[in-house]
Structure 1
Amino acid sequence: MGIDQNDAVAEALRRLVSDSFATRLWQRDASLWPEPSPGGDPASNTLGWLDLPMRLSMLGQQFADLNSQLVADGFTDVVVLGMGGSSMTPLALSNLFEDSIANGSSRIRLHALDTVNPTTVSKITENLDLSKTLVFVSSKSGTTIEPLTLESHFRAAMESSPSSSMNRKNFVALTDPDTPLSERARAGEFGTWVATPEDVGGRFSALCAFGMMPAAATGINVRLFAESAARMAQRCSVDSEENPGLALGAFMASNALDGRDKVTLITSSEYSMFGAWVDQLLAESTGKNGKGLIPVTGEPVLKLDDFDSDRQFIVFKTGEDTDRLSHAIFALRSSDHPVFVIEPQSADKHEIAGEFFRWQIATAAASSLMDIYPFDQPDVESAKVKSRELLTDLRTAIDSVDLNEALAETTIHRAPKYVAITAFLPESEELTAAFADLRKAISQKTGMATTFGYGPRYLHSTGQLYKGGPQNAIVLGFVSGIYDHLAVPDESYTFGQLTEAQAGGDFMVMAEGGQKVLPVKLGVDPAAELSTATQQLIE
């Protein structure tokens, strides 16, 4: 671990140690943070994640034979239907372990579906043999609209498939006890129901069944995850400046309080989706009451001149391109940017479990230093309410602006503002690359940091930050001008209309809260439209 110990960071770390933060955290001392928002769960009901590293070995034993059982039963694919904390860990792990899953002996592929975009839903459905697909319906509350509508879709697709028939054994429920989803499971609608811990919030649930059962299904060794998490938990339990969670938390909070609230995570490409997991943890935990750590992840490579003074950098130094990361560390430090370097104790990818826990401790510590309550998300529901209203009146359309006009608007701003790019579009490598080029052009032109997320994924991630955090974002909200009419079974709306309602509702709430929101509709070839506009912006 390498940390730039300026006076503010050192003082913040000493404060955490002298205040016995670690001891009090493990004792569940709620006085470490301010009171939750009205209706938010108190800390005493949300700190169960501290116990997960020690419970993980038992979970590993419970799921030890899961992969072999699924292979024996003829399954070839696992699809996780979830949002936010229910899907971020499977998403990160499927990306990180992609090669070993594809080339190993597990013979089970892992897919995390956290979108209701009709093009994406149709594509993944067409590419699966549904009779050999196990579907995890993952929802802590048991009421989340996206996984429930997707569940309806997959059940209907299995019923109508000539090579398959709807079988409850193809469906697994992951949810807390006493939720509507658990009641359906008790009634026999699912082959299996695994109860998730009630005292663990979604974004802190990586090491429980939400993250670990899909991992085990694909043959990932949960026992090694347990060993990594337990080692990190031990290191994070002491009141010491060597505590890795406290050190990271002190670094993030002190720099943010000094005006450097853009937490820029630099990783190797294979850890890119770990950045999406960090997005949710930081943004949803801290983005409240006009404050927040603004995670900047998946950013294209920029020059030092493209970074303004509102940045702090965390370099996750592992993976295949450590030479590039070493060069980045040297260059940033030479330019007096604050840099925190994380080097896992082993190159083994199972060390990611320990990193999940390090970042959770760090988030709890940073929130304490910034006087933020990290275990609620008071502004997420507002966009859901607005989306439901729009679904009742499908005639309401999103007022959009021309793409070039929207980009011209961004160029008149400078840091500490930042550009938040949201895309309610079908995810693809080509489109993601086009957005990366756009992000690079904006930063080169203005010096502003950029964030990026596909919708509705970001609604359950950075969405809380955009609504409850600092109101200094210029939001470029991209939607499709063309949706197919994939029906949501037993509902009066289509997946396209649901997507449009979610986008419109969120844009309205962000604008009402004070953000500058610029909705943009793209046509049949969004990647090409973006590329053309990006080139014009550069010129």
Structure 2
Amino acid sequence: MAERTTVEITDDTLAGAARPLVDRLVSDGVASALTAQNATLWGEEAEPEASIRLAWTTLHKSSRALIGEIEALRTDLRSEGIDRIVLAGMGGSSLAPEVITSTEGVALTVLDTTDPGQVSDALAGDLDRTLLVVSSKSGTTVETDSHRRIFAEAFAEAGIDAARRIVAVTDPGSPLAQLAASEGYRKVFLADPHVGGRYSALTAFGLVPSGLAGADVARLLDQAAGIAEALSADSPDNPALTLAAALAAAHTDGAEKVVLTDTGSGIAGFGDWAEQLIAESTGKEGTGLLPVVVEGPAAPGFADAGSDATTVAVGPRVQGAALAVEGPLGAQFLLWEYAVAVAGRLLGINPFDQPDVEAAKKAARALLDNPQALTGTEEPSAVIGPVEVYAAPGDQAVPATGTLADVLRQFVGGVADGGYLAVQAYLDRLDDASASLLRSELARCSGRQTTFGWGPRFLHSTGQYHKGGHRNGSFLQITGSAEQDVPVPGRPYTLSTLQLAQALGDGQVLAEGGRPVLRLHLTDRAAGLADVVRAVQELTR
């Protein structure tokens, strides 16, 4: 992996459009002001939020104290035969640790799901060797709290002292911090409350689970430190200013989507982390940058990207990329955080709030409070083998009769010119992994930029953009009946109930906002998913 960190604009037209923006940012002293945590950079309305969200600019220094604590705990755990780390966390609490550990090739079981099958698989691991890291900034994240309750009960049933097997990562004074103290959890790591979730890769949220799993978190901070001075400089050579200016200039010219692919960076899954940072930071007030993570430089959406998208190679430059961003993981974290925060200034939005995220949570909670709404009172528009089709009443994009391919053909055909298609799979990310094939197939047949997200994971990532960004998305939800279910101790619902409530709640908010939503429910997951994949493949022939 190259240790040098660079941003190269490989498209001459884009380079010309970005240059005056870089000059303006340099003249305004934006980079040094950001490093100094100047909360006025995004305007008066954003100042209250920005004033408590800028400590990430110096984490390469302030997080050093964590290294010894993490290593000491890891040594103690290994001496007790505890070497399996399970992370319960969502969004910023899980995406960075997954990238860090995958890149270093160390094992970390990440639970950012409410799928009962996936959680059951995690429970089936060797509990005698397991430590659960419960990670939540607010301390109230429903998915994470559910995982905590389920594992605590499983530990107790196995005759294991649950408190000795749970470590909490949270903000000071949160409900989780209070619970951890009262329950006597093995250790509580308190993160810096002046860092938002999507900027928290180099805080305890990113470093604790990664370090306990065996990743070299000191090296990660060294990599970030190696680029910090360059990112703070009011200079046209500042790579963050170059990246921010290119993204903003492209957006002004109609490229509201950012298509990311790995081109040999040596980093595993970086796009999934960058996806949340970009979407939640910029997707609001009817504007923003939609990240589209694709499978490679030859994938649909990258090789054939239109004028509505900026193509970014994470790694060496390749044909078709307008931008190439290279560097080690720690440096990339800090580079993209600077660049996205600066892009927010250029786009005229506050990059530190997420005003539309709560809407789907409220809708899901309302459905959980009204179980009747989840028990089949809604009639499907059509039933095609093991697939139930649900669409808004009177939706002309869904035929009353025909094949599954007919249903999808009409829905995909209704995606707006310059719009995008979002596939949202509320399934098992491991056992139902073939669902991810739908992204490239639908992108190929539709000619539209297409994203793929696992639910409810994406709700903590691109979910903000879907509701607050450009209003040109169409949404294909895929839900499935669960062969097994997992009760949530102390709560009046099971995981499958929660999972369905999250899907229906988000779909409801999207539909109320005028977004087209089609839900395919698999009454038999394996057979239904196979039918959906075949139907999509028919569209490409």
Give me the TM-score of the superposition, normalised by structure 2.
0.89
Other structure's SS at 1:395 match: helix
**Equivalent residue, structure 2, for 1:518:** 518
Return the letter of the residue paired with 2:273.
W
**Equivalent residue, structure 2, for 1:406:** 408
Other structure's SS at 1:165 match: coil
Q: Does 1:377 align with 2:354?
A: yes
Other structure's SS at 1:396 match: helix
Task: Specify whether residues 383 and 484 from structure 1 end up closer, same or farther in structure 2 by C-alpha distance, changes over 3 A only.
Answer: same
Could you tell me how far apart the structure 2 residues matched to 1:176 and 1:311 are?
37
Deviates more, 1:43-52 or 1:20-29: 20-29
Other structure's SS at 2:339 match: helix
Correspondent of 1:94 among 91, 95, 101: 101
**Deviation per CA, 1:483-525, whole angstroms, max 9, x where unpaired?**
5332111111110000000110001111112221111112321
Q: Contact conserved, 1:288 with 1:372, CA < 8 A, in 2?
A: yes
**Deviation per CA, 1:300-345, whole angstroms, max 9, x where unpaired?**
6336773221110111116xxxxxxx5xx22x16xxxxx111122x
Could you tell me how far apart the structure 1 residues matched to 2:214 and 2:98 are?
15
Over aligned residues, Cα RMSD in angstroms? 2.0
**Deviation per CA, 1:103-159, whole angstroms, max 9, x where unpaired?**
xxxxxx311111111111111111x11121111110101111111011000011112
Could you tell me how far apart the structure 1 residues matched to 2:303 and 2:323 are?
20
**Equivalent residue, structure 1, for 2:458:** 458
Correspondent of 2:110 among 101, 112, 116: 112
Deviates more, 1:527-536 or 1:171-180: 527-536
Q: Contact conserved, 2:35 with 2:58, CA < 8 A, in 1?
A: no
Q: Does 1:245 align with 2:240?
A: yes
Q: Does 1:125 align with 2:137?
A: no
Could you tell me how far apart the structure 2 residues matched to 1:501 and 1:36 are?
34
**Equivalent residue, structure 2, for 1:277:** 273
Deviates more, 1:138-147 or 1:410-419: 410-419
Return the letter of the residue paired with 2:502.
Q
Task: Specify whether residues 266 and 12 from structure 1 end up closer, same or farther in structure 2 by C-alpha distance, changes over 3 A only.
Answer: same
Return the letter of the residue paired with 1:508.
Q
Gaps of 5+ in 1: 102-108, 319-325, 334-338, 345-350
**Deviation per CA, 1:77-98, whole angstroms, max 9, x where unpaired?**
0111011111111121232222
Q: Does 1:12 align with 2:21?
A: yes
Q: How does 1:423-442 map to 2 (within 5 A)?
A: 423-428=425-430, 431-436=432-437, 438-442=438-442
**Equivalent residue, structure 1, for 2:472:** 472
**Equivalent residue, structure 2, for 1:481:** 481
Q: How does 1:176-215 map to 2 (within 5 A)?
A: 176-215=171-210
**Equivalent residue, structure 2, for 1:54:** 61
Other structure's SS at 2:160 match: coil
**Equivalent residue, structure 1, for 2:323:** 340
Other structure's SS at 2:169 match: strand
Q: How does 1:213-362 map to 2 (within 5 A)?
A: 213-268=208-263, 271-299=267-295, 301-302=298-299, 306-317=304-315, 326=317, 329-330=318-319, 332=320, 339-344=322-327, 351-362=328-339
Deviates more, 1:457-466 or 1:512-521: 512-521
**Equivalent residue, structure 2, for 1:392:** 369
Q: Contact conserved, 2:90 with 2:144, CA < 8 A, in 1?
A: yes
**Equivalent residue, structure 2, for 1:336:** none
Q: Contact conserved, 1:159 with 1:166, CA < 8 A, in 2?
A: yes
**Deviation per CA, 1:8-53, whole angstroms, max 9, x where unpaired?**
211111111111111221232222213457xx95211110111201
Could you tell me how far apart the structure 2 residues matched to 1:143 and 1:530 are?
35
Deviation of 1:406 after TM superposition, in Å, equals: 3.3
Correspondent of 2:534 among 532, 535, 539: 532
Could you tell me how far apart the structure 2 residues matched to 1:190 and 1:477 are?
38
Q: Contact conserved, 1:115 with 1:121, CA < 8 A, in 2?
A: yes
Deviates more, 1:165-174 or 1:526-535: 526-535
Q: Does 1:63 align with 2:46?
A: no
Return the letter of the residue paired with 1:61.
G
Q: Contact conserved, 2:231 with 2:338, CA < 8 A, in 1?
A: yes
Q: Contact conserved, 2:257 with 2:289, CA < 8 A, in 1?
A: yes
Q: Contact conserved, 1:443 with 1:449, CA < 8 A, in 2?
A: yes
Aligned length: 502
Other structure's SS at 2:71 match: coil
Correspondent of 2:146 among 139, 142, 149: 149
Correspondent of 2:49 among 42, 60, 70: 42
Task: Specify whether residues 36 and 135 from structure 1 end up closer, same or farther in structure 2 by C-alpha distance, changes over 3 A only.
Answer: farther
Return the letter of the residue paired with 1:532.
R
Q: How does 1:498-513 map to 2 (within 5 A)?
A: 498-513=498-513
Other structure's SS at 1:506 match: helix
**Equivalent residue, structure 1, for 2:385:** none
Other structure's SS at 1:63 match: helix
Gaps of 5+ in 2: 1-5, 381-389, 392-397, 399-403
Q: Contact conserved, 1:290 with 1:469, CA < 8 A, in 2?
A: yes
Q: Does 1:82 align with 2:89?
A: yes
Deviation of 1:201 after TM superposition, in Å, equals: 0.5
**Equivalent residue, structure 2, for 1:322:** none
Deviation of 1:392 after TM superposition, in Å, equals: 1.0
Between the two proteins, what is the percent identity of the paired residues? 36
Deviation of 1:272 after TM superposition, in Å, equals: 4.7
Other structure's SS at 1:509 match: helix
Q: Contact conserved, 1:477 with 1:518, CA < 8 A, in 2?
A: yes
Deviation of 1:247 after TM superposition, in Å, equals: 1.0
Could you tell me how far apart the structure 2 residues matched to 1:173 and 1:41 are?
28
Could you tell me how far apart the structure 1 residues matched to 2:435 and 2:362 are?
32
Q: Does 1:138 align with 2:135?
A: yes
Return the letter of the residue paired with 1:536.
E
**Deviation per CA, 1:147-197, whole angstroms, max 9, x where unpaired?**
101100001111223xx4233110011111111111112223311111111
**Equivalent residue, structure 1, for 2:162:** 167
Q: Contact conserved, 2:132 with 2:165, CA < 8 A, in 1?
A: yes
Could you tell me how far apart the structure 2 residues matched to 1:432 and 1:261 are?
28
Deviation of 1:261 after TM superposition, in Å, equals: 1.2
Task: Specify whether residues 481 and 433 from structure 1 end up closer, same or farther in structure 2 by C-alpha distance, changes over 3 A only.
Answer: closer
**Deviation per CA, 1:278-299, whole angstroms, max 9, x where unpaired?**
1100001111000111001134
Deviates more, 1:140-149 or 1:512-521: 512-521
Deviates more, 1:291-300 or 1:281-290: 291-300
Could you tell me how far apart the structure 1 residues matched to 2:209 and 2:149 are?
20
Could you tell me how far apart the structure 1 residues matched to 2:186 and 2:179 are?
11
Could you tell me how far apart the structure 2 residues matched to 1:36 and 1:216 are?
38
Other structure's SS at 1:313 match: strand
Q: Does 1:446 align with 2:443?
A: no
**Equivalent residue, structure 2, for 1:105:** none
Could you tell me how far apart the structure 2 residues matched to 1:273 and 1:260 are?
23
Deviates more, 1:87-96 or 1:289-298: 87-96
Q: Contact conserved, 1:306 with 1:443, CA < 8 A, in 2?
A: no
Other structure's SS at 1:376 match: coil
Could you tell me how far apart the structure 1 residues matched to 2:279 and 2:483 are?
30
Could you tell me how far apart the structure 2 residues matched to 1:265 and 1:20 are?
29
Deviation of 1:420 after TM superposition, in Å, equals: 0.7
**Deviation per CA, 1:237-294, whole angstroms, max 9, x where unpaired?**
1001111111111111110121011101110476352111011000011110001110
Q: Contact conserved, 1:168 with 1:191, CA < 8 A, in 2?
A: yes
